Amino acid sequence: MFTIDSFVDTVQTSKKQFVNTFVTNKAVADAMNQFIDQQSDYTKKAAKAGSDAVTTITNETVKAVQNATKFDYMKFGEGIMKAWTELQSKPVKSL
């Protein structure tokens, strides 16, 4: 199964291989690899936070839709019509 972590690891590993192949200065290569590791950690955390947010939003939307379908629209409509009928049957007072 495809996950964002495996994709991030694949990209970051290829970056490290590029650095190890083409950067000849050991100190520079170490600094770049450390940056790549930090970048990987940040990206994974950001992706998880985004995924968690989407999951929460989706769950709350489903709950809201389920609650909306439980609402008795017929009873609500009958109540509105009853109120309208009562209002129409009362005499209008003139000023």
pLDDT at position 1 over 60: no
* Concatenated DSSP letters of 6-47: HHHHHHHHHHHHHHHHH---HHHHHHHHHHHHHHHHHHHHHH
Model confidence pLDDT, tens digit, residues 24-38 = 999 999 999 999 999
pLDDT value at residue 95: 64
In this predicted model, what pLDDT tens digit does every residue of 19-71 receive, in sequence order? 999 999 999 999 999 999 999 999 999 999 999 999 999 999 999 999 888 88
Q: How far apart are CA 82 and CA 74, in angstroms?
A: 12
3-state secondary structure of 51: helix
Indicate yes or no: pTM above 0.75: no
The H or E element spanning position 86 is helix 73-89
How does residue 94 score in pLDDT terms, banded at 50, 70 and 90? low
